[in-house]
Amino acid sequence: MRTALVAAAAAFAASTLVALAPLPSQAADSPNWSWTGIFGKYDPAQLQRGFQVYHDVCSNCHSLSLLYYRNLGGDGGIGLSDDDVKKFAAEKQVPDEPNDQGDVKPRAARPSDHFVAPFPNNNAARAANGGALPPDLSLIVKAREGGPNYVYDILTGFTDPPKDVKVPDGKYYNKTFAGNLISMPPPITKDSLVTYADGTKNSVEQESQDIVAFLNWAAEPELNVRHNLGIKVLIFAGILTLLAYAVKRKIWADVH
């Protein structure tokens, strides 16, 4: 009976892992994302580096309208302390509640506020970017086919155009973007690398990988919690299957 139980457990585990395994989607030259697979999880150090890239580079043009500053800390956050969250929030100004005279004055943002957009409205954003509207990045990884791999390839895909391709003013050549002409200038270059607070050696590829990790977290901050729960459910289901099989064998042992 023990052999039968072991065989049943192995068969259940194999069938469950096959059913839940992610579809192969990463290109050969794409990073090995830490959160893929049922046992995957975010790396807090990488998320914090990615947030630094967003804070220092991407936030000049792109909003994160679905995030609150408080999301950076606590359970499901990127590992920042409450003081750090308050500090980052306080860098921005938001409209305060109207006073007794109905006047609205600015105040420092709080952890309970949404991420402050770089422009007051879409028209201002277009005017500052040659007519192009920088997309909100809250769900950008989920909104693009290819997910994190596509966003990474866009960030690392800026290159000199072929000799027979003329790039119009206000456009940039990107080997990944559809049509190869994109309105966004290269956000990460060798001349504009951030200096990581944790001392990690920076490069275009490193910063691109880190910001993509942060943006994937922004779109799916509950991933670690969901994966941990999924593993517990699998263990429980495996034990329940073994118990059910043992009971079945016991009840029908005398039936030939």
Structure tokens that stand for 212 in this block? 């993509």
C-alpha distances out from residue 103 to 112, 119, 120, Å: 22, 22, 19
Is the separation of the CB atoms in 37 and 22 below 8 Å?
Answer: yes
Global pTM reads 0.80
The DSSP H or E segment spanning 209 is helix 204-219
* CB distance 64 to 115 below 8 Å: yes
Averaged over 145-149, what is the pLDDT? 96
Q: Positive or negative, the Cα torsion across 62, 126, 185, 29?
A: positive
Q: Which of these, 37, 38, 111, 41, lies nearest to 81 by C-alpha position?
A: 111
Instruction: State residue 250's pLDDT score.
Output: 80
**pLDDT band of 256, cuts 50, 70, 90:** low
Give the position of tokens 């890239």.
53
- The reported pLDDT for the residue numbered 116 is 97
Which residue's structure tokens are 């990884």? 141
- Average pLDDT of every residue of the chain: 87
Residue 209 or residue 99, greater confidence: 209
Cβ(46)–Cβ(34) below 8 Å: yes
The angle at the Cα of 166, spanning 164 to 167, to the nearest 5 degrees, equals 140
Question: What are the distances in angstroms from CA 247 to CA 1, 150, 240?
Answer: 11, 50, 11
Q: Which residues pair with 229 in a beta bridge?
A: none
What is the structure's pLDDT at 82? 95
Euclidean distance between the first and the last CA atom of the chain, given in angstroms as a whole number: 16
Length in residues, the chain: 256
Distance CA 210, CA 194 (A): 12
Interval 66-108: pLDDT, tens: 999 999 998 899 999 999 999 999 999 999 988 888 888 999 9
> Rounded distance, CA 156 to CA 189, Å?
9
Residues 149, 26: contact at Cβ < 8 Å?
A: yes
pLDDT digits (tens, 9 = 90+) for 157-193: 999 999 999 999 999 999 999 999 999 999 999 988 9
Compute the average pLDDT of residues 127-136: 95
Distance CA 171, CA 166 (A): 10
Give residue 155's pLDDT: 97
Q: Is 155 helix (H, G, I), strand (E, B) or coil?
A: helix
pLDDT for position 224:
79
What digits encode the pLDDT tens for the residues 38-76? 889 999 999 999 999 999 999 999 999 999 999 999 889
Average pLDDT over residues 111-132: 96
Rounded Cα gap, residues 119 and 122, in angstroms: 7
Instruction: Using the predicted structure, report yes or no on whether residue 26 has a pLDDT greater than 60.
Output: no
Residue 29: per-residue pLDDT: 66
